[in-house]
Amino acid sequence: MDLAVQRAELRKSPQERERIDDLFRLIPEGGGVALDAGAWDGHLARRLADRYDRVVALDLTAPTVDHERVECVQGDITALDYPDDSFDLVLCTEVLEHVPADRLAAACTELARVARRDLIIGVPFRQDLRLGQTTCRDCGRRNPPWGHVNSFSLEKLRDLFGALRVETSSLVGQRVDTNALAAAVTDLAGNPRGTYGQEQGCVHCGAKLVRPQWRLTTKALAALGIALQKPTVWWRGPQPGWMHVHFVKERQTEAAPQV
């Protein structure tokens, strides 16, 4: 399927509409200038343009957004080329889970730095990165699902954006978890049920991820992995899939002059 068509179909899904509606419930009615950091297909930038006078849609490759109030730029959130307090709103969703761990703190510092007041973050909530793993055919190493290399709780986000105040937060969607034994068996099978349809290549060598062939042993081990996962699903039940947090940068009042 063509990538643009695949993205359009994703945006139509009930789960995606629920997630985006929840995200925009947190976004202030604005005016001013907004930054969509990690704009991807530009869908959110277009929606932000209904609320803000100008929107900067930024990604590692400049997005293509045909809208008079949207400016498309190439950039890296770990080193943003903007002065402090440049944007009335900074929105960053579906991004931080992809940032390498050694650059994550720098990315969060930069996002907070360029926000004048409001910063909205969207990340998967406590994602079990063992579920949906892939195995690279080229280097043989395991990859986390969808190229997600970080898992987040509210406490972790508070630590990463420690200088900002949490205005509000919400949880939306559903996920399930696995367990160590089920993950080990699925890995032994070569992770045939992993997220091989993702855009991201192998996080280790960059190669395109290709689903392994379904051999008899692969099918047997994959089926055993699913069976071993079921007790965890039954015990824990569905868990929230996404976390959205509205951070606020509070201004320090100037000290009274000494008399």
pLDDT exceeds cutoff 60 at 258? no
The continuous run of DSSP H or E covering 47 comes out as helix 43-48
| pLDDT band at residue 12 under the 50/70/90 scheme | confident
CATH number of the domain located at residue range(s) 3-248 in this protein: 3.40.50.150
| pLDDT band at residue 250 under the 50/70/90 scheme | confident
pLDDT exceeds cutoff 90 at 209? yes
pLDDT exceeds cutoff 80 at 254? no
pLDDT exceeds cutoff 60 at 204? yes
Q: What is the pLDDT of residue 3?
A: 56
Q: How many CA atoms lie less than 13 Å away from 120 in the CB half-sphere? A: 24
Q: What is the pLDDT of residue 31?
A: 85
| pLDDT band at residue 238 under the 50/70/90 scheme | confident
pLDDT exceeds cutoff 50 at 228? yes
Looking at residues 208-232, what average pLDDT do you find? 95
| pLDDT band at residue 9 under the 50/70/90 scheme | confident
Average pLDDT, the chain: 92
Query: Higher pLDDT residue, 171 or 6?
Result: 171
Query: Higher pLDDT residue, 5 or 197?
Result: 197
Beta-bridge partner residues of 246: 120, 168
Residue 142 DSSP class: E
| Residues in Cβ contact with 55 at an 8 Å cutoff, skipping those fewer than 6 apart | 33, 34, 35, 36, 45, 48, 49, 67, 69, 70, 71
Q: What is the pLDDT of residue 5?
A: 61
Which of 20-29, 133-142, 236-245, 250-259 bottoms out in mean pLDDT, i.e. has the lowest? 250-259
Angle (CA) 169 85 166, round 5°: 15
**3-class state of residue 88 by DSSP:** strand
Q: What is the pLDDT of residue 248?
A: 97
Sketch the domain layout of the chain as residue ranges.
3-248
- The sign one gets for the Cα dihedral 225, 230, 236, 238 is positive
